[in-house]
A and B are shown apart, each in its own frame.
Chain A
Amino acid sequence: MSELIVKNVHKSYDGREIIRGINLTLHEGELVCLLGVSGGGKTTLFNVISGLTAPEQGQVFLDGEEITGKPGKISYMLQKDLLLPYRTIEDNVALPLMIRGMKKKDARAQVAPYFAEFGLEGTEKKYPRQLSGGMRQRAALMRTYMFSRNVALLDEPFSALDTITKSAMHTWYLNIMEQIHLSTLFITHDIDEAILLSDRIYLLTGQPGEITTEIIIKEPKPRRKDFTLTEDFLRYKRQILEKIGE
């Protein structure tokens, strides 16, 4: 069981309210998108969930345990890969295990079998700068996965990539999610990406940001990229655009 629950979270910076009364749930194996405009409080919410900042009000639970303001439970991935340039890919993805106190050799052994799964075979001994942007994001996701096999936060992970690479990453991502069953909270401002990838979408709108709508994407998984070309897809998109326009 791995379930993330956010209860009634409020957060302000310098007296300005950024997010108000956020409630959300992430069930086992689900991919839930948090869709909203840039600067709408997505990243603030995200820092609260990862425990980097404490909210004024509200709580965060992981598997029933309260983790509000406690880092070290849920890790995340950003649009910047944040791979350490002076560590090889294998040592980068093994880093979360080493932070937990595992020896380098054991950590390397533990991450080794996952390279193939993440489409990163052969990159073990390479340095991040030898990899393309897309490959680096794969490594960043793998590192997140090595940290926590159950819940991950992804903050616009593909938004820095060019359109073609991004599209390839979506295919890769849909494929890998079938294999690793990671419960994921995915933050994005890209409506197409949200519909394509999610089981559910929360719309975060207004200032301060509030979750106004929850949309369930019923399209069965595994999904294929051509889902984006269907009538159903457009219907979801229209629904979201209307809600955002309100």
Chain B
Amino acid sequence: MKRKLQSITRRINTIAAIVVILVVWQCVSVLGVVPKYMLPSPVQVFQAFVEDFPLLMENSRVTLLEAAIGLGCGVAFGFTMAVLMDRFEFLYQAFYPLVVLTQTIPTVAIAPLLVLWFGYEMLPKIILIVIATFFPVTVGVLDGFRSADRDTMNLLRSMGAGKLQIFRYVKLPGAMSQFFASLRISAAYSVVGAVISEWLGGFSGLGVYMTRVKKAFAFDKMFAVIFLISIISLLLMKLVDVLQKKSMPWEDIKHE
């Protein structure tokens, strides 16, 4: 009960901060401190959002589809890499530095290259998202596997468990919280990755919409789409939280 109350007050504070920022922003815009065409007021942004709602939804659908497919493939790939690198030490030694290296490549820099190679359709976008999302999963899950308790594994060994059983009963469930932590990051990356790849070539999606409104100097629409992308990312992360709660019921249980 007390806990619930605390979480409510915390939420109130967050909401209050947001309201204050919006009010200040509205004042700055209305008073003309910054020219209106450069910084539209929150009300204008909201109007633009409502006006373009069908178009935004249509483009969101494309972006979300790319993000979902890319994230799915990225997570599957990242997870497989983690399993293989945990199982075979030589693969770990061979590929771990390479995996880290892929993260030093700026996404924006390789996106045009991917477009040149794979065209303007969905494929280059998915590849880009896979590159952006597999890494957190690989690193997180691998770390989870490697930090499995030695005593517990020995105990299972004394019970006659083989490598596969130890993996199934100790390593895999033990890595779940790291997996979800990584998934949360990857989910956010997937939306951003989709938008970036759309900027650099494509026919539809929020990124394409963004480049169009930018060319039209429609700052209000620009802000509307930025907020929409944030909201989508937040919703995805929330979804991961819900998924985690559902799949790890023991985490939520209180001591008695």
* A and B associate in one complex: yes
Give the B interface residue count (CB, 8 A). 23
Q: Establish whether residues A130 and B173, one from each chain, have CB atoms under 8 Å apart when the complex forms.
A: no
Interface of A is mostly: loop
Contact residue among A71, A80, A95 (Cβ-Cβ distance under 8 Å from B158): A71
B253, A95: Cβ atoms closer than 8 Å: no
- Do B173 and A84 touch (CB < 8 A)? yes
Chain B: interface secondary structure? Answer: helix
A170 to chain B, nearest CB (A): 23
Q: Which residues of A contact B256 (CB under 8 A)?
A: 130-131
Category for how many chain A residues contact B: 20 to 34
Contact B155 A75 (CB under 8 A): yes
Considering the complex, give the chain B residue whose CB is closest to the CB of A70.
B160
B8: CB under 8 A from chain A? no
Contact digits for B162-204, partner A, Cβ 8 Å, 1 yes 0 no: 0001000110011010000000000000000000000000000
- Min C-beta distance of B228 to chain A, whole Å: 37
In the complex, what residue of chain A is closest to B160 when comparing beta carbons? A72
For A86, give the chain B residue with the smallest CB separation: B173
Which residues of B have CB within 8 Å of A84?
152, 169-170, 173
State which residues 66-81 of A face B: CB under 8 Å. Answer: 71-76, 78, 80
Task: Assess whether B12 is interfacial by the CB under 8 Å rule.
Answer: no
Chain B neighbourhood of A216, CB < 8 A: none
B159 contacts which of A95, A127, A131 (Cβ < 8 Å)? A95
**B169 touching A95 by the CB < 8 A rule?**
yes
Residues of B within 8 A of A (CB): 149, 151-152, 154-161, 165, 169-170, 173-174, 176, 248, 250, 253-256
Query: Chain A residues in contact with chain B, CB under 8 A?
Result: 50-52, 71-76, 78, 80, 82, 84-87, 95-96, 98-100, 127, 129-131, 147
What 7 A-B pairs come out closest when comparing CB atoms? A72-B160, A127-B250, A50-B158, A86-B173, A99-B161, A96-B159, A75-B158
